[in-house]
Structure formats: structure tokens, C-alpha cells
């Protein structure tokens, strides 16, 4: 019986490369000269943006989004927190990298698949992934299209087997 797994994984090496590219651009751009703007990455799940004002912070988020999307990492994998005041009137914003599918999101995915009422297509939650099985490959491809359209997460479809 054909099956595939729905996962949400981010290649942290690509994120690190994108952060380094964004850091270089911030250091060399004219509008950031003389400001105390920097990007930090803890190599696990947190990117921190430091800027002297709100406009520079917005420009840094745009640069980061551009570099991350060019590296093949989906922007939906980034969770931007609210900007907060830091020392001496500067701004700080934290960006969390979402890894894995939470149990609530997995339940939503399973419910979405069951609500479509496709013949004999089943979904099971397995830790941080969802396994979808069905009798026909075409049914599974329509499930993939449905999930791409309706779910607001960065999803990958791996381990496709006939």
C-alpha cells in the first residue's frame, strides 16, 4: 500500500549560511553604517536581530527573509516574535525556527485529511511526523496538494513508497 510521511524539518546549515549572508549584507549596506545593527544565530533554533530603530529592524527582516528563501528554506518555518525595546532605545526581535510538527498541528493535519473523505486514505501521527497511507498513488498526490494549499506550515513530503 503506497504511503508517505509529512514532516517539517529545516536544514540548519542552510539557515546558518543564510544568516551569514544577511550579516554580511547588513555590515556592508550604506543605510546601516554607523548603526549598532547585528544578527545572531545560536545554531539551534533562535535568530536574534538587533537594530537601532524600527525601520532598520524591518529592513533586516526583509534581508533575512530574502536570504533564507534563496537558500531553499521556507519562510513559513520562521516564527517572528514581537519586537521589543532593548538598551539605549534600540530594538530587538527574536525569530524562532520551527522544527517538527507539534501534536496540535498533527491533529489538525489528520482531521483535514479525514474531512476530505477520500476512499481508504488514512493518516497516523508518529512522534513529530504524520504517515499517510492509501490504496492509490493518485489519492496520496491529491492529499499532498491539499496539505500544501490548506496548512500554514513548512511541510516536506518524504519517504514516498509504492
- 26 & 50 share domain: yes
**Side-by-side strand order, sheet with 129-133:** 122-126, 129-133, 3-7, 156-161
Whole-number pLDDT of residue 31:
87
- 64 & 139 share domain: no
Helix segments in 29-102, DSSP class H: 54-70
Q: How far apart are CA 93 and CA 53, in angstroms?
A: 11
Q: How far apart are CA 145 and CA 14, in angstroms?
A: 26
pTM, rounded to two decimals: 0.83
Query: Which domain range does residue 119 map to?
Result: 3-8+100-161
CATH number, position 148: 3.30.70.860
- 81 & 117 share domain: no
- 39 & 92 share domain: yes
- 56 & 88 share domain: yes
Q: Which residues pair with 84 in a beta bridge?
A: 92
Q: Which residues pair with 78 in a beta bridge?
A: 97
- 112 & 53 share domain: no
Whole-number pLDDT of residue 43:
84
Whole-number pLDDT of residue 119:
80
Whole-number pLDDT of residue 14:
93
Q: Give phi and psi for 18, each to the nearest 5.
A: -65, -40
- 24 & 75 share domain: yes
Q: How far apart are CA 134 and CA 38, in angstroms?
A: 49
- 59 & 110 share domain: no
> CA end-to-end span of the chain, whole Å?
6
Whole-number pLDDT of residue 138:
87
**2, 136 contact by CB (below 8 A):** yes
- Give the chain's residues under pLDDT 70: none
Whole-number pLDDT of residue 1:
83
Whole-number pLDDT of residue 23:
93
- 111 & 89 share domain: no
- Other Cβ atoms less than 10 A from the Cβ of 60: the count is 24
CATH number, position 45: 3.30.70.990
- 80 & 105 share domain: no
Q: How far apart are CA 109 and CA 21, in angstroms?
A: 34
Query: Total structural domains in the chain?
Result: 2
Whole-number pLDDT of residue 59:
93
Last residue of a domain, one of 97, 121, 151: 97
- 70 & 111 share domain: no
- 56 & 71 share domain: yes
**121, 139 contact by CB (below 8 A):** yes
Amino acid at each position: 500500500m503506497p504511503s508517505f510521511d509529512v514532516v517539517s524539518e529545516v536544514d540548519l546549515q542552510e539557515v546558518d549560511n543564510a544568516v551569514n549572508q544577511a550579516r554580511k549584507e547588513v555590515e556592508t549596506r550604506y543605510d546601516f553604517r554607523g548603526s549598532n545593527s547585528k544578527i545572531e544565530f545560536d545554531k539551534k533554533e533562535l535568530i536574534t536581530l538587533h537594530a537601532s530603530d524600527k525601520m532598520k529592524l524591518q529592513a533586516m527582516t526583509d534581508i533575512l527573509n530574502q536570504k533564507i528563501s534563496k537558500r531553499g528554506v521556507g519562510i513559513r518555518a520562521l516564527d517572528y516574535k514581537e519586537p521589543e525595546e532593548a538598551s539605549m532605545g534600540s530594538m530587538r526581535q527574536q525569530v524562532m525556527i520551527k522544527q517538527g510538527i507539534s501534536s496540535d498541528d498533527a491533529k489538525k493535519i489528520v482531521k483535514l485529511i479525514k474531512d476530505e473523505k477520500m476512499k481508504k486514505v488514512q493518516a497516523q501521527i508518529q512522534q513529530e511526523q504524520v504517515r499517510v497511507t492509501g490504496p492509490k498513488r493518485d489519492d496520496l498526490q491529491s492529499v499532498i496538494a491539499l496539505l500544501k494549499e490548506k496548512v500554514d506550515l513548512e511541510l516536506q513530503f518524504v519517504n514516498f513508497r509504492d
